[in-house]
Amino acid sequence: MLNSQTVTFFPQVAEGKVDRTITAVQAGRIKFQGSYWPAQFYDADCQATVLPNDVVKVVGRISITLMVVPDGYSLPAQSEKTAQNPAEKWVSGITALFKPEGRRRLSAIAN
């Protein structure tokens, strides 16, 4: 799997159609926005099997591999996504510093 790389999440979930079977241990291929792409399950613990012509939800990508979940599968919470994406986590942390409680924490550290 591609665990060492960061998932880039798409702002909106979109649909793709399976071209080659995808399982928990086997990446496959989907047709997405008119082109064919390598695809694998976003959730490594997903025990589903999606077969050719099944619909999947495309949630993001790692390099050119699309990260998908089976249609009807519960998507991870936004907080889980942020924890998985270092850039979003960093922006979230910086933004928190500018909230009143964050400024108080900075003052306490400085004193």
Q: Supply the pLDDT for residue 52.
A: 98
Q: Each residue of 22-58: pLDDT tens digit?
A: 999 999 999 999 999 999 999 888 899 999 999 999 9
| Measured distance CA(102)–CA(108) in Å, rounded | 10
pTM of the model: 0.66
**Can you say how many angstroms the Cα of residue 61 is from the centroid of all Cα atoms in its chain?**
7
Long-range interactions of 25-31: CB distance < 8 A, separation 24+? 27/65, 30/56, 30/58, 30/66, 30/68
Q: CA nearest 18: which of 3, 43, 2, 40?
A: 40
Q: Each residue of 70-85: pLDDT tens digit?
A: 998 876 554 454 445 5
